[in-house]
Amino acid sequence: MPGTAEMNKWVEEMAAQCEPKNIVWCDGSEAENHSMIEDMLDSRELIRFNQKKWPGCYLHRSHISDVARAEKKTFICTDKHEDAGPNNNWMLPKEAMSRVFPLFKGAMKDRTMYVLPYIMGMPGSPMARVGLELTDSAYVAASMRIMTRMGSIALEQKEALKKGFVRGLHSKGDLDPERRFIVHFPKEETIWSIGSGYGGNALLGKKCFALRIASSIGKREGFLAEHMLIVGLQSPEGETTYIAAAFPSACGKTNLAMLTPPAHMAGWRVFTVGDDIAWMWWAEDGTLRAINPEAGFFGVVPQTSMKTNPNAMETIRKNTIFVNVAMTQDAMPWWEGSDSPPPAEAWDWRGHPWTPTSSEKAAQANSRFTTPARQCPSISPKWEDPQGVPISAIVFGGRRSQLAPLVYEAFNWSHGVYVGSGMATETTAAQSDYGMMTRRDPMAMLPFCGYNMADYFQHWLDMGKKAGAKLPKIFNVNWFRTGANGKYLWPGFGENMRVLRWIAERAQGKGKAVETPIGFVPAEGAIDTDGIDVTKETMRELSGVDPEAWLAETEDHEAFFGQFGKRLPAGITAEMEALEKRLGKK
Ligand code: OXD
Ligand code: MN
């Protein structure tokens, strides 16, 4: 076997449990990928799209009960419940051993076990870490090859391998949701996933490793593993400011990561470094550096179009695996919100005949593209820099129809940590069984923090105390505030660049602002509104801070933080009390 002795031993042990018919170590080569794709076309695990129009693009259909991350079946396994925290489902490691591990017994009979060595991060980066995923899904193997640097290259990372490797065991099992488990062992840096073939549950480098396991390693080792996009904003003078931004799902993260500046801002450019995950650490020179540990984008397809995200559209034109989109009769992908009108006849995501009069959607609401980041026209020339990019601003955001201004800047790092910890977003009826509700999602990490979130807040506060650190400024944005008529006050999309520009200016000590109890909002005229239909009054409304409503918000914070009991850092309580005082609480 080509791996390290420790890898080979683990593969043997897992093979003894899973009993695969054969074991294939993947080298990541073009030839290997080609033959795997041919096999999947034969078995209908993949369907070929029109190769003239969509070269290298394929359709994969998942089981209809397996279309999203299974949060209820996702567990953190620690000896003590409080180490997983109230934010996670928890299981004792020995319970996982008796309840989950047996599900792998013989699970790969008649199947191939693919052994995938991969790197999260890029070769030669001080942050790079190696993972080894064992899977019985060829679709997972082909997707991991897009999403990570996969194959022999991972085995050549001598420095990274000194830190060991993250073990990931994946089997589709029988796809029964009752026997679906995604369990994480942060101490052992191990993941077991069974019963799902969906990306977020099965591509173990992504949410499981790069967020849940890495966040817990980050706590031990002093770095941050965050659910953040990274962009570089280049001014007409050629100066680039890097921003990392956390948003819960359905807030347009991929669109923001690939934003096209409006015509009005000629000379400005946005460079994409990452769209989902950032690992950040203090460099010797005191800057906060960030890498995107992934090599691809696993993005939501519906509503992606030349209007909402032309860079994504360009990116997914080739070498892309689509999951659960519709297929037209001439073998083209189609989805709701695409640039082409609905086809007269198509196959929907389940493979059933579909017409525009069908009551069901043609593409599944969470249908996805898996596409190489290097194909993105806006990809940053620095996206593979092993030393990452220097972050000048951290942005938090959510979907709030009321309350939160378009943008505000925290007073300092610890206030910014409080702002992030109080993040919330309104779900839409499409996302939640309960209809509209405000979901607290600190730093957009609620489903991804691999340990007690109270300790995570403390880790953030501690990161800000590093001697010599050049602390980035922290901001909060809200593109979704509505006026009395229920309509959005801000045009959004490319126009968000105007707000990013103010953020970049503030990060450089420029840009005019006014102090309010919640932080600094843009001074009148500080955000350029030339050429858009946003009046001075609207800008005032967008920057409005209602003390009563904010005091009600802090009560909500208090209720949410209450679940962490004594473990909640004093630094968070102090920030909340200071805010209440500024708001005039008696
Ligand atoms: C998510 C994703 O669920 O990126 O956040 O897929
Ligand atoms: Mn995500």
User: Is any ligand 1 atom within 6 A of the Cβ of residue 249?
Assistant: yes
Lowest pLDDT segment from 209-218, 420-429, 525-534, 571-580:
420-429
Residue 437 pLDDT greater than 90, yes or no: no
**Mean pLDDT for the stretch of residues 40-65:** 97
Q: Is 208 a catalytic residue?
A: no
pLDDT tens digits along 543-575: 999 999 999 999 999 999 999 999 999 999 999
Identify the pLDDT of residue 427.
Answer: 80
What is d(CA 94, CA 117) in angstroms, rounded to the nearest whole number? Answer: 27
- Rounded distance between C-alpha atoms, residue 393 and residue 507, angstroms: 6
pLDDT of residue 163: 97
Q: Is the CB of 200 under 6 A from ligand 1?
A: yes
User: Considering all CA atoms of the chain, what is the largest pairwise distance in Å, rounded to the nearest integer?
Assistant: 71
Can you give the pLDDT at residue 549? 97
Q: Which atom of ligand 1 is nearest to the CA of 253?
A: 4
Read off the pLDDT of residues 232-244 as tens digits, 9 standing for 90 and up: 999 999 999 999 9
pLDDT for position 372: 98
Q: How far apart are CA 371 and CA 54, in angstroms?
A: 12
CB 448 within 8 A of CB 227: yes
Please report how the helices 570-582 and 413-421 are oriented relative to each other, as an axis angle in degrees rounded to 10.
Answer: 90
Task: Please report the pLDDT score of residue 354 as a whole number.
Answer: 98
Q: What value, to the nearest 5°, has the Cα angle with vertex 450 and ends 223 and 19?
A: 115
The tens digit of pLDDT for each residue in 366-378 reads 999 999 999 999 9
The answer on pLDDT for 431 being more than 80 is no
What's the rounded Cα separation, in Å, for the pair 516 and 513? 10
When pLDDT is cut at 50, 70 and 90, the band that residue 428 belongs to is low
pLDDT on residue 434: 54
pLDDT for the residue numbered 430:
52
The residue annotated as part of the active site, out of 18, 251, 376, 449, is 251
d(CA 447, CA 89): 10
User: In this structure, which ligand is nearest to the CA of 366?
Assistant: 1
433 C-alpha to ligand 1 centroid (Å): 18
Report helix, strand or coil for 422.
coil
| CB of residue 481 inside a 6 A radius of ligand 1 | no
**136 CA from centroid of ligand 2 (Å):** 24
Nearest 5°: the CA angle 339, 342, 348 is 110
In percent, how much of the chain has pLDDT > 90?
A: 96
Q: What is the pLDDT of residues 274-330, one digit of tens each?
A: 999 999 999 999 999 999 999 999 999 999 999 999 999 999 999 999 999 999 999
Token look-up 């093979």 returns 15
What is the length of the chain?
Answer: 586
Ligand 1 pocket check for 253: Cβ under 6 Å: no
Taking all residues of the chain, what is their mean pLDDT, rounded to a whole number?
96
Question: Mean per-residue pLDDT for 405-420?
Answer: 98
195 lines ligand 1 (CB under 6 A): no
Residue 522 has pLDDT above 60, yes or no: yes
Tokens of 50: 């029109």
The tokens describing 424, both together, are 């919330």
pLDDT number for residue 160: 98
pLDDT-derived band at 510 (thresholds 50, 70, 90) equals very high
pLDDT digits (tens, 9 = 90+) for 167-178: 999 999 999 999
> What is the per-residue pLDDT for 435?
60
Cα distance between residue 299 and residue 254, in whole Å: 7
Burial of 504 (0-12, 13-18, 19+ CB in 10 A): buried
